[in-house]
Amino acid sequence: MAKSFAVIGDPIDHSLSPNIHSAAFRELNLDSSYIGYRIPKGELESGIEGLKKIKITGFNVTIPHKIEMMKYLDKMDESCSIIGAVNTVVNNEGVLKGYNTDMDGFLEPLKKRDIQIKGKKILLIGAGGAARAIIAGMAKEKAERVDIANRTIEKAIKLSEFATKIGLKANTKKIIETDENIENYDMIINSTSIGLKNESSPITFEKISQGTIIYDIVYAPMNTDFIKKAKDKKLEVIYGYEMLLGQAIRAFEIWHEMKAPYNAMKKALLGGF
Ligand code: ATR
C-alpha cells in the first residue's frame, strides 16, 4: 500500500525534508510520498486530526510544535521522553508514537568521522530545544563535562540541571564570558540560531587551541561566519547540514525499517543550497 509522510510546522515552505525523503523514495523505488504541511501555532490539535483522517503513515515535527506535540502522543520512545520534545511520529492505525531523532542526528557526523565524545570537554553555545537533544547525546556518549553558554542565563541553568540529572557534569556562563578559558575545550558547538541571518560568530577564535572541533547546527547558509572563522584557523568543522541529514536518516529508518540511502539523501540536501 502507498505510504504518505509529512513535515508539520510553521513556516514550512523552506523545509528541506520533503526533498531529502523524496530522494530516498526514488532511490529505493518506494511507493511513498512526503509533503510539507503548514500548521500554525494554536492549530496543532485539528491539524493532527486531519493527518489521522488521511491515514498518514508518519510525520516529522518542527518549529513551533516540537514540545506541544508531546501532548498528542499515545506512546513515546525513550528518545522522546528523555529529551522532552518530539520530531518524528509513527501513526499505527490512529495510535501515535513519538521519537526524537535529533540526538542521533547530532551524533551521526561524529561517528562518521570516528570522533569520540567520551572524555571530551565541550562548550555548548545555546540552551534551546536543539541544545537539549545535544546534551542528551553528550550524556549518552559520556562526555567529561560541558559548559553551557547562553544569552539568557536562566535557560542555561535549567539545561545544566537537566544535564546533571542525566549524569553529565555541567557549568554555565554567559556568551560574553566564553573568551575566558576558551583554549581548554576539545569541541565547541553552536546550537543557537546565530548565523541564520548571516550574523557574525558568537565567539572569538584567537585563543582557541588547534585540534578543537567546531560544530555548527545552523545549516543555511552552509558556511556561517562561525564555520568560516574555524576554517580560517584550519580547525576541523562539522556542518549543520550533517546533523539535519543524520536526523532524517534515523527518521527514515524508523518509518521504513530498512537502511536509509545516505548518499541519495545527502545529494538531495546539498542540492537544496
Ligand atoms: P531550537 O529549538 O532551534 O534550539 P530555541 O529553543 O528557540 O530553538 O532556542 C534558540 C537558542 O538560540 C536559544 O539559546 C537562544 O538564546 P536565548 O535563550 O537567550 O533566547 C539563542 N539565540 C537566538 N538568537 C540569538 C541571538 N541573537 N543572540 C544570542 N542567542 C540567540
DSSP H/E element including 125: strand 121-125
pLDDT of residue 273: 72
pLDDT (tens digit, 9 = 90+) per residue, 35-66? Answer: 999 999 999 999 999 999 999 999 999 989 99
Q: What is the mean pLDDT of residues 160-170?
A: 97
Q: What is the mean pLDDT of residues 213-237?
A: 97
Compute the distance between CA of residue 231 and CA of residue 229 in angstroms, rounded to an integer.
Answer: 5
pLDDT of residue 218: 95
Ligand 1 — pocket residues by CB below 6 A? 126-131, 150-152, 155, 191-194
- Count the neighbouring beta carbons within 10 Å of the beta carbon of residue 40: 13
Q: What is the mean pLDDT of residues 117-124?
A: 98
pLDDT (tens digit, 9 = 90+) per residue, 70-118? Answer: 999 999 999 999 999 999 999 999 999 999 999 999 999 999 999 999 9
DSSP label of 183 = G
pTM of the complete model: 0.94
Say if CB 77 and CB 98 are below 8 A apart.
yes
Asked if the model's pLDDT at residue 272 lies above 80, the reply is no
List domains and CATH numbers for the chain: 3-100+243-271 (3.40.50.10860), 104-238 (3.40.50.720)
Give, using CA atoms, the residue closest to atom 14 of ligand 1: 126
Identity of the amino acid at 85 = A
3-state secondary structure of 253: helix
pLDDT of residue 251: 98
Q: Which of 172, 193, 217 to mutate to test the pocket of ligand 1 (most atoms within 8 A of CB)?
A: 193
- For residue 127, which atom of ligand 1 is closest to its CA? 14
Q: Please classify residue 58 by burial: count the beta carbons closer than 10 Å to its beta carbon, then call 0-12 exposed, 13-18 middle and 19+ buried.
A: buried
pLDDT tier for residue 124 given thresholds of 50, 70 and 90: very high
pLDDT tier for residue 239 given thresholds of 50, 70 and 90: very high
Q: Please classify residue 100 by burial: count the beta carbons closer than 10 Å to its beta carbon, then call 0-12 exposed, 13-18 middle and 19+ buried.
A: buried
- For residue 130, which atom of ligand 1 is closest to its CA? 4
pLDDT (tens digit, 9 = 90+) per residue, 173-196? Answer: 999 999 999 999 999 999 999 999
pLDDT of residue 252: 98
Residue 210: which residues within 8 A CB-CB, separation 6 or more?
A: 233, 234, 235
Q: How far is the CA of 97 from the centre of ligand 1 (A)?
A: 28
Give, using CA atoms, the residue closest to atom 20 of ligand 1: 152
CA 5 from centroid of its chain's CA atoms? 19
Q: At what angle do helices 129-140 and 102-112 cross, to 10 degrees?
A: 50
